[in-house]
Structures are given as C-alpha cells and as structure tokens.
Chain A
Amino acid sequence: MTLVAETRGAGVAHSALRGRRRRNRLTVLAFLTPWLLGVTIFFVYPLLDTLYLSFTRYDLLSPPKWVGLNNYVFMFTKDPQVVKAAFNTLWLVVVLVPARMLFGLAVATLVTRLKSGLGIFRTVFYLPALVPPVAGVLAFVFLFNPATGPVNQFLGALGLPQPLWFNDPTLSKPSLVLLGLWGVGDLMIIFLASLLDVPREQYEAAALDGVNPWQRFRYVTIPTISPVLMFAAITGVIAALQYFTEAVVAASVASGQATTGGGNSSLLGYPEGSTLTYAQWLYNMGFKNYYLGYASALAVVMFLISLAVTLVLLRRARSLVYGVEGTR
C-alpha cells in the first residue's frame, strides 16, 4: 500500500514536473511566436514557394505547370546570358569586395592618424554613402561621360587618353568599382570604430618590442579588428552577389536607352553585356519576360551559392578571426 502510495506520489510529482515543463515550453513558444511567424511567412514560405516554382513553367498570369528539371537544364546548357551574368557577378565579388575593404581600411587608418579636422574628414568620407544609389550613379556616369564629362576634360587638358569609361566593355566594371570606392563611407565608419577600439597598451608593448609599422599593423591591428573585417567580407560578398541597382542605372544612362516597345532597354548590361549581373538577369527573366519559373530556378542557385560562400567564410573565420573559439 505504502509502495503504491509512494509510486502514486512519485507519479503525481513526475506528472506535475512534466506539466511545468510543458507550460514552460508553451511560454517559450508564445514568446517565440512573433519571430516564428515572421520567419515562416517572410522566409520559409517564400523559400519553399521559390523552390517549387523552379520546377514549373509560370508566367504570373496563369497557374504554374510542372516541368521537372527543364528550367535547370536550360540554365546550365542553353542560356548564354546566365554565363555572362555569373562571370560579371563573380568578377565583382573578387574585385569589388576586396577593393572596397582595402580602400575603406586605408581611409579609416588615415582618418585615425589625423591630428585635427577628424570630424570634418570623417563626415566628408562618409557623406557619399548617404547619397541614394540611383542619384549617385547618375552623377557618376555624367562625371565620367566620355564626351562631355569633367573627368575626361581634365584628362584631355593634361594630354592623357580619354577613356570611354561606362561605354567601354573593358572599363565598365572597373568604373563601377570606382563608384563603389567613392561610396566606401559605410565600411570606413565601421573600420574606424574598430581601429579606435584597438587597446593602446598593445601598441605600446609592440613598440617596446621594436616592431616596425607594418608588423604593428599585421600583428596587432589586424587580429584585433578581424571580426569586423570578417563581417565586412561576408556582407560585402552577399551584396556583390545581389549587385543590381548601380549596374542597371549605369547601363541605362550610358546606353541612351533605345526602346523596343514597352519602354524597356534593348541593351541589357550595356555595353556588350559587361554590366549584366546575375540578379539583373534574374529580374529580367522574371519580371520583364515573365519566365517566373526560370527566374525561381536562378534564385535557388543563387541562394545555394550565397549559402555556400557564407559557410566557407564562416568556417575560414575560425582560423582567421582572432578570439573565435578554437582559433589561434
């Protein structure tokens, strides 16, 4: 009887414990619900829908029809533009991201060394980042106009060659890089904050050890600001993979934009497809030609590439970022 009572008592206690745990879980779930709803509606659902649509023929106006792997077969075997777009995007990832990081770091380092006028220079370097992208590109393309732009007039006055800039397929992407460097204020400001955060005593200790400026930068500054550098690299790569507005506006303005009905430029990625990015091609196929199924396939591939690049960068971060668990 006692045993039964004890067992019953233990059972009741166990049941009460389970009930408390359940209530706790429900409480946690209740607090998480807004976030879960947001993620489900704005991330999981669109992601799954995109994945489903990538296997269909879908034009937005009629119901999707299942076509199996057709869209992926077309992408990898029959679409010359996607190859060009992927190359241009990769070029921007490889050149634009490091260039902006290096330039941003150089400007931030320079600003930290200023004895006076720090506020003014910080503002001057940051201001371009506040200019709306379309306005910035318009101004930049006019500045670099091969015939009437002040840049070429200045070069001409010096007797130097006057390039075609945005109208030359070999210079259009480097011109976009120049545009990116002009607007480097967003990176400069976070680099500046992290540089100012490097402990003075570490520099003093390094000075006592007799290190030269490069060694001081390489072995004191870089390790300390490495988490910020990694953040800049990851967000920079993702932004480069989605590069769109600047390329579209630059191509449109530089081409003079002839129309072939519908007000659409006939010269996508002008000049000669050199500014056609992956995101631009995706948009064009989806919302200009209404191949929404194919555009979804392009989006799925882009998502997988972005995910892979981010994972690789995060994995590398273990060995590159000072202070991360399991690192040097």
Chain B
Amino acid sequence: MTTTPRRRRRLAMLAAAAGLSMLASACSSTGSTPSAPSSSAPTKLTGTVTFWHFFTDREAKGIAAAVDKFVAANPGVKVEVKSGQDDDKTIQAIAAGQPIDVVLSYSTDQIGKFCSTGAWQDLTPYITRDAVDLNEIPTVVRDYTQFDGKRCSMPALSDTYGLYYNKKLLAAAGYSSPPKTMTELTDMAKKLTVLDGKGAITTAGFVPTFGFYENAPAHFAPSFGATWFKADGTSNIGSDPGWASMMTWQKNLVDFYGYDKITRFTAGLGQEFSADNAFEKGKVAMMIDGEYRNAFIKAEAPALEYGTAPFPTDAAKTDLYGSGYVTGNVIGMGRGAQNPEAAWALIKFLSTDTDTVVGLANAIKNVPTTTPALTSPNLVKDANYQTFLDVFANANSSTTPTTSSGKAYQDTLGTFTEQWQAGKIPDLSAGLTTVDTQINDQLSLGKAP
C-alpha cells in the first residue's frame, strides 16, 4: 500500500489528535496521595492553613470569631479564611489541583462524591490517633458525614426542620395548638385560608406546592416514614407506600386551593430569604422551615407572634411525631492539603470542641452537632429553638442518603412532583415506578461496563 502526501498529512493529523487527546486525559486526571498523619499529635502547631467556607455576612462573623479563638490557642498558626465559597468553587479548585487545607460545605448531598473521589481526605487515621469519640455525635449526623464506610468529614452544625405557625392567625381561627397529623394540618390549612371578594387567596393556611420555599419531598419524607433506597442501593420510591401517601396528601391540598390559584398566590409572595418572606409577613399561617428561620424572624419581623413544633406526621404513623428532616454543614480536609496537621487541628476544634460548637450555634442559630454541646448550659435557647433541638435528638429523624452521584435522585423526584401537582400524572403508582427506573438509570450512568 502506497502512502500519498495527502494520506500522510491525514495520518499526521490523526496522530496529533490522538496525542492531544492523550494529553487531554492526562490533564483531566487529578489525584494525589493523601497526607499521612504523624504517629502522635504535634505538641506545637505552626504554618498557614487555608480555610474555605460558604458563610457570608452575619454568619461569616460567627466563623471568624471561632477561627480567632483557634489562632489564639495556637499562636504559631495563621489561618487564611475565604468566605462565600460554595461547593462549585471548592470542587473546581480542588479538581484544578489548588491545595485547600480545610473546606466547610453546606451540602451533605455531595459527601458521597467528596469521599469516594478522595477530593476530601479520609479523616479516620487522625480520628483514631487522637481518640476522638464519635459516639458524641448523633447517629443521623454520623450517617451524613461519611460515605460507604469512609469518613471524610466532620459535622459543623446542622439544620433541622419543623413547623412554624402564626399564633395570632391560629387563635383567630379558634386553634390553640399546632397540628400533629397531616389530616389536622389539612383541616386547619383550609380554615385558616382567606380569600378576597374575587376568590383570590390573600392568606394561605399552608402552601402545599412543591418548590415553594422549603417544600421539598426530602423535607416531608420523615413525616411519612418514606425511604429513598432499598438495601441493594436501588430506588425505593415506587415501593415505599410513604411516598404515595405524601403525594396523595399534598395533591388533595393543592386541589383544595386549585393549582392555578395557589400558583398565582405564591408568585406574588416575597422571596424566601428576604424580609418579604410570606410567613414573616403573615400571608402564610403555617410552613415548614429550618431552625435558622428563628434568627431571620428575630432580625426581620421581631413583632411576629409565632410558635414552632415538630412537623405533623401521616395520620397512620403518629409514632413518628417529634421527628423531622436533618441535614447540616460538613467540614473536611481537601486533597493536597499543605498543612494537614494544623488543618486537622482546626477541623477538630470547629467540630468537637464543646465551647466552640456552642459559640457557633449561638452565633449562627443552627443546631449544635455534638451531645455535650446540645446539653451545654451555655447554649442560648428559647422554646422556639428548643423544638429543633428536640427534633434533632429524636431517634426517627432522618436525612437524605449520600450517593456518589450527589443529589441527582432528588432532582429526578422533584421533576416528577411538578408534573404530579399540576395534575399531569394520571396514575401515581405507575409514575413513581417510572421515577424508580429513572433514578436507577441515572445512578448507573457512566459506570464502567
């Protein structure tokens, strides 16, 4: 076979393409050996620690105060804090090989990815060496801070969800206590709803639409005992009757309002994290939200007469009352950390030192994540905040499972719920089974054959 100049040029181009492609794969690869701890904890720490976290404004000040305390206790260490760094930024920085010693993330959903890829280092050797008692951390929190037996993070405060109710509006409707079951919630929501002369909603008892503020299937799931995955790791949404119960309850209440009418009402409400929040403005009588709302109400609507309670449960599962959805912040050591010993010391300080954890909880108004901090007399609490401490401590409280694919499975269900509440799904059971298939397909996406 002869080789013409044209053919030679083509071959050269192909070779160049292959070379570039190989270069591409080499450049895309990321990885480095995790830092190994010394046999005993150093008596004196020195050097610089880079610390990226996502907090801003008021909450960032709380973190800064805790870091100052750490530096005061370790004068040889300098901590370079970068606030306002979300997961996207930290993941891309770590992937690009930028060494970050300590990372604080808001998303427990990404822990599977952080642990499984080694983007966050396994902390087990440090925990074992320093004999950190993980039993001081509640089970649900231990679950969402590790993946597949690999502990690459420690907890740094948690968010716990419950019911907020407007005492004034409830009293005006003749109620003296919040609902405990979904049936009661529905009845009260109907009675608390006020329409204007044209039939438009002016005050909603409870907005049931998914997508409104914190209305997400994940946040309602503990109230129905609904579980996401089977033991074999495949989706359980179509098989667990809790999901069907949740969807049925939710759709009935949506239908009471009328989908168009409730959509029009919510479209006119203020943004969730603003002083125009509908609950703070008295336009919604009851809603689900995290403990952090207490701090927002104090700052934005101090005159609001409100109460908090565990979120109501399915009428058939009243034993679950008192539980709720729990998630939180996680802190870990980035791949390629330059000063691992000082980084670990800072992680340990922020996640297990009782005074520090209590101080952070008081400043940010999240729930502390260790038992000694939860029971500390220094923890500032009132009745509304105590509700969330109780929900957090409840054995039935649960979180969303960590997967190596992040929260894609929640998005898939979220897409379904939009269709469902709009009345576009004629057969709920078949619809949920389809969700199972979609989640299973997505989990297996890209897996090596």
A65 on the interface (CB 8 Å rule)? Answer: yes
Return A208 CB to nearest CB of chain B, in Å: 56
Please count how many residues in chain B sit with their CB below 8 Å of the partner chain's CB atoms. Answer: 70
0/1 string, A57-72, CB within 8 A of B gives 1: 1111111111110110
A51 on the interface (CB 8 Å rule)? Answer: yes
Complex CA gap A256/B438 in Å reads 26
Chain B positions near chain A (C-beta within 8 angstroms):
17, 20-21, 23-25, 27-31, 86-88, 91-92, 94-95, 106-110, 113-114, 116-119, 200, 210-216, 218-219, 260, 263-269, 271-272, 327, 400, 405-408, 410-411, 414-415, 418-419, 422, 424, 438, 441, 445-449
Return B262 CB to nearest CB of chain A, in Å: 11
Q: A164-B264, A258-B213 are in contact. Are A268 and B272 (CB under 8 A)?
A: no
A61/B269 in contact, CB under 8 A: no
Residues in A with CB closer than 8 Å to B218 are: 260-261
0/1 string, A143-171, CB within 8 A of B gives 1: 00111100000000000000010011100
B86/A263 in contact, CB under 8 A: yes
Complex CA gap A145/B264 in Å reads 8
Contact with B267, one of A49, A78, A147, A262 (Cβ below 8 angstroms): A147
Contact with B446, one of A164, A264, A293 (Cβ below 8 angstroms): A293
Which of chain A's residues has its CB closest to B399's CB? A261
A112 on the interface (CB 8 Å rule)? Answer: no
Additional A-B contacts beyond A52-B21, A62-B117, A258-B214 (4; CB < 8 A): A48-B24, A67-B446, A74-B445, A256-B211
A261/B108 in contact, CB under 8 A: yes
A290/B418 in contact, CB under 8 A: no
B264/A260 in contact, CB under 8 A: no
Complex CA gap A168/B214 in Å reads 21
A49/B24 in contact, CB under 8 A: yes
B400/A261 in contact, CB under 8 A: yes
Q: A164-B263, A270-B418 are in contact. Are A256 and B24 (CB under 8 A)?
A: no
A306 on the interface (CB 8 Å rule)? Answer: no
User: Dominant SS at the A interface?
Assistant: loop
A239 on the interface (CB 8 Å rule)? Answer: no
13 contacts between A and B (CB under 8 A): A48-B24, A61-B94, A63-B31, A67-B447, A148-B268, A260-B411, A261-B109, A261-B218, A266-B210, A271-B418, A287-B88, A289-B411, A293-B446
Residues in A with CB closer than 8 Å to B438 are: 78, 80
B445/A294 in contact, CB under 8 A: yes
Residues in B with CB closer than 8 Å to A257 are: 211, 271-272
Contact with A266, one of B87, B106, B211, B448 (Cβ below 8 angstroms): B211
Residues in A with CB closer than 8 Å to B266 are: 256
Please count how many residues in chain A sit with their CB below 8 Å of the partner chain's CB atoms. Answer: 62
Complex CA gap A256/B119 in Å reads 32
A59/B117 in contact, CB under 8 A: yes
Residues in A with CB closer than 8 Å to B424 are: 272
User: By CB atoms of chain B within 10 A, which of A44, A254, A256 has the most?
Assistant: A256
A258/B21 in contact, CB under 8 A: no
Contact with A48, one of B21, B114, B268 (Cβ below 8 angstroms): B21
A291/B113 in contact, CB under 8 A: no
Q: A62-B30, A65-B448, A293-B446 are in contact. Are A260 and B407 (CB under 8 A)?
A: yes
Q: A145-B267, A146-B263, A256-B213 are in contact. Are A49 and B21 (CB under 8 A)?
A: yes
A255 on the interface (CB 8 Å rule)? Answer: yes
Residues in A with CB closer than 8 Å to B410 are: 260-261, 266
User: Shortest 5 CB-CB distances between A and B: which pairs?
Assistant: A147-B268, A57-B446, A49-B24, A61-B117, A262-B107
Which of chain A's residues has its CB closest to B114's CB? A61
A303 on the interface (CB 8 Å rule)? Answer: no
Q: A49-B24, A49-B28, A268-B411 are in contact. Are A61 and B88 (CB under 8 A)?
A: no
Q: A67-B449, A263-B106 are in contact. Are A61 and B119 (CB under 8 A)?
A: yes
Return B60 CB to nearest CB of chain A, in Å: 16
Which of chain B's residues has its CB closest to A292's CB? B28
A35 on the interface (CB 8 Å rule)? Answer: no
Chain A positions near chain B (C-beta within 8 angstroms):
44-45, 48-49, 51-53, 56-68, 70-71, 74, 78-81, 145-148, 164, 167-169, 254-268, 270-273, 284, 287-291, 293-294
Residues in B with CB closer than 8 Å to A255 are: 211
B118/A62 in contact, CB under 8 A: yes
Contact with A64, one of B29, B87, B91, B119 (Cβ below 8 angstroms): B29
Complex CA gap A263/B30 in Å reads 26
Complex CA gap A255/B267 in Å reads 7
Residues in A with CB closer than 8 Å to B29 are: 63-64
Complex CA gap A139/B108 in Å reads 34
Residues in A with CB closer than 8 Å to B200 are: 147
Complex CA gap A260/B412 in Å reads 12
A272/B422 in contact, CB under 8 A: yes
B25/A64 in contact, CB under 8 A: yes
B24/A52 in contact, CB under 8 A: yes
Residues in A with CB closer than 8 Å to B211 are: 255-258, 265-267, 270
Complex CA gap A48/B14 in Å reads 11
A291/B267 in contact, CB under 8 A: no
User: By CB atoms of chain B within 10 A, which of A62, A254, A261, A263 has the most?
Assistant: A261
Q: A164-B263, A257-B272, A262-B106 are in contact. Are A57 and B448 (CB under 8 A)?
A: yes
Residues in B with CB closer than 8 Å to A145 are: 267-268
Residues in B with CB closer than 8 Å to A294 are: 445-446
Residues in B with CB closer than 8 Å to A60 are: 30, 91-92, 95
B28/A58 in contact, CB under 8 A: yes
Which of chain B's residues has its CB closest to A148's CB? B268
B267/A164 in contact, CB under 8 A: yes
Contact with B113, one of A59, A167, A270 (Cβ below 8 angstroms): A59
A48/B107 in contact, CB under 8 A: no
Which of chain A's residues has its CB closest to B437's CB? A78
Complex CA gap A114/B211 in Å reads 49
Residues in A with CB closer than 8 Å to B107 are: 261-263
Which of chain A's residues has its CB closest to B201's CB? A147
Residues in A with CB closer than 8 Å to B405 are: 289-291
B215/A290 in contact, CB under 8 A: no
Residues in A with CB closer than 8 Å to B30 are: 60-63
Return A325 CB to nearest CB of chain B, in Å: 26
Residues in B with CB closer than 8 Å to A148 are: 267-268
Which of chain A's residues has its CB closest to B18's CB? A48
Which of chain A's residues has its CB closest to B413's CB? A266
Residues in A with CB closer than 8 Å to B407 are: 260-262, 264, 289
Residues in A with CB closer than 8 Å to B418 are: 267, 270-273
Residues in B with CB closer than 8 Å to A80 are: 438
Residues in B with CB closer than 8 Å to A268 are: 411, 414-415
B214/A259 in contact, CB under 8 A: yes
